[in-house]
Amino acid sequence: MRNRRLVSIIRSGLLLLLSSAWLFPVYIILVNSFKSREEMYLNTLSLPPSLDFRYYAEAAERMDFLRAFRNSLVLTIGGVVLVVVFCSMAAWMLVRHGGRLSRLIYDVLVITMLIPFQTVMMPLIQEMSFMTRVMGIPMLNTLGGMLFMYLGFGAGMGVFLFYGFIRSSVPRALEESAIIDGCGVWTLFWRIVFPLLKSITITVAILEMIKIWNDYLLPSLSLTSTANSTIPLAMSLFIGQYTVEWNMAMAGLMMSIIPVIIFYLYAQKHIVKGVAAGAVKG
């Protein structure tokens, strides 16, 4: 009994230590967002002398935060919706119409997860530029073009997770019963199958949301107009060639991570369940 209590205390202490390590960067961002540059350089770890929100106001004004927030929100919500809708339908069809072709398509989509973005970014931008100039399809410097690219980059992971979940957790007999009752393919998926994908849908949505919301590299290559700037692009205003306004950057960063934290806290109970079920080998 005594050994069990000791083990429990040690385990709790280790969890507390690990939690503190994970939360330490958030603490650094939060306390320094209320400090001037001099106060921050004097003692980075200390609490701010007062809760002065003027740095938040100045950072929001210089970033044009409302516009950047709107653009990031449009890209994030649109990208998540596109990935969830297209990947869930594609995965369902690949599972239910098994065969060599379906397996080949699935393998190709999964292999794309292994390709680093840095290896394809320049050919991608050249291709998008070609589509914009020659074919007349606005793919560069538009939010629609960004959504198209986010759908492509999210397809591999999305299909992989939905495929494993559908294969292991969605019974075929339920679909066959609905078909016997006269249910069409479209109604079958949206009324019968998709409601069963709640946990894995939330998992995919969280992963895509974090990736798109925090993405800097792809928007920096594609979005050249300040009117289309996202929050990560707007935050680059505080990072100059010779100096960095860290306190302003911390205030902007704090404003940018609050929506992600709120969404994560709301949906965290579904993450482990969805990932565990979606990672089943197909």
DSSP annotation of 99: S
pLDDT in tens, 135-165: 788 888 899 999 999 999 999 999 999 998 8
pLDDT in tens, 36-78: 888 888 888 888 888 878 888 888 888 888 899 999 999 999 9
Write down the pLDDT at residue 277: 53
On whether the pTM is more than 0.85, the answer is no
Q: Look at residues 104, 105, 114 and name the one whose alpha carbon lies nearest to residue 87.
A: 105
Instruction: Give 250's pLDDT tier (boundaries 50, 70, 90).
Output: confident
pLDDT in tens, 71-127: 999 999 999 999 999 999 999 999 988 788 999 999 999 998 888 888 888 888 888
Question: Average model confidence (pLDDT) for the chain?
Answer: 85
Write down the pLDDT at residue 147: 94
User: What share of the chain has pLDDT > 90, as a percent?
Assistant: 25
Write down the pLDDT at residue 171: 87
Helical ranges in 137-281 per DSSP H: 143-169, 172-180, 185-187, 198-213, 217-222, 231-235, 246-267, 271-278
Instruction: Give 281's pLDDT tier (boundaries 50, 70, 90).
Output: very low
Got the DSSP string for 120-163?
Answer: HHHHHHHHHHHHHHTS----SSSHHHHHHHHHHHHHHHHHHHHH
User: 251: burial class by Cβ within 10 Å (0-12, 13-18, 19+)?
Assistant: buried
